[in-house]
Amino acid sequence: MNREIKFKVKIKLNEKGREFYEEESLFVESRIHEVKAIHFESPTNICIADESGDSVITIFKDYCDVFELMQFTGLKDKNGVDIYEGDILRVNESRYDSRVKNKIYEIREVCFRDGRFSIMHSVQDIYESDRIEVIGNIYSNPELLNNKS
């Protein structure tokens, strides 16, 4: 299998981190970032693009209260959006049947389980991308899992 290996990261700095990163703190904590490089040393640190996109900011895990890496599954949803671990999907749980007028949709989370990426609590296979749509992630939109529809 040949797939691109990519990560995103959600960061929440601790007090030491806010002091260290100063004015960059708001940017670092403002969104989920694409990871430009990962160094699995002791401690782990990563590089993310700065606001301009022209250079990188190194984030040290010791300066973070939240440091959640999300791995790319290698798949895209029905709209061509990359699917990452921790994404929240709108899943069409109904099979095609001309007698069914209303489709059944469920809101589910992508997880890594038993050596593969899957959709939690779903009979639907994550590889059936024409039936799934990324609508958020567990870090930015946890309320979506509470409002399943």
Q: In the chain, what are the domains?
A: 7-70 (no CATH), 77-146 (2.30.30.290)
CA 131, CA 129: separation in Å to the nearest integer? Answer: 5
Give the confidence band of 19 by pLDDT, cuts at 50, 70, 90: very high
User: CB–CB of 24/41 below 8 Å?
Assistant: no
What's this model's pTM, rounded to 2 decimal places?
0.79
pLDDT exceeds 90 at position 98: no
The string over 55-77, giving b where at least 16 C-beta atoms fall within 10 Å of a residue's C-beta and e elsewhere, is eebebbeebbeebbebbbbebeb
* pLDDT tens for each residue of 74-91: 889 999 999 999 999 988
Nearest to 49 by CA among 9, 4, 84: 9
Residue 122, pLDDT score: 66
Mean pLDDT: which of 21-35, 41-55, 101-115, 120-134 is highest?
Answer: 21-35
Who wins on pLDDT, 46 or 148?
A: 46
pLDDT exceeds 80 at position 126: no
Tell me the mean pLDDT in the region 94-100.
Answer: 55
Provide the 10 A C-beta neighbour count for residue 9. Answer: 20
Give the confidence band of 2 by pLDDT, cuts at 50, 70, 90: confident
Give the confidence band of 8 by pLDDT, cuts at 50, 70, 90: very high
Tell me the mean pLDDT in the region 12-24.
Answer: 95
**Which backbone phi and psi does 143 adopt, to 5 degrees?**
-65, -25
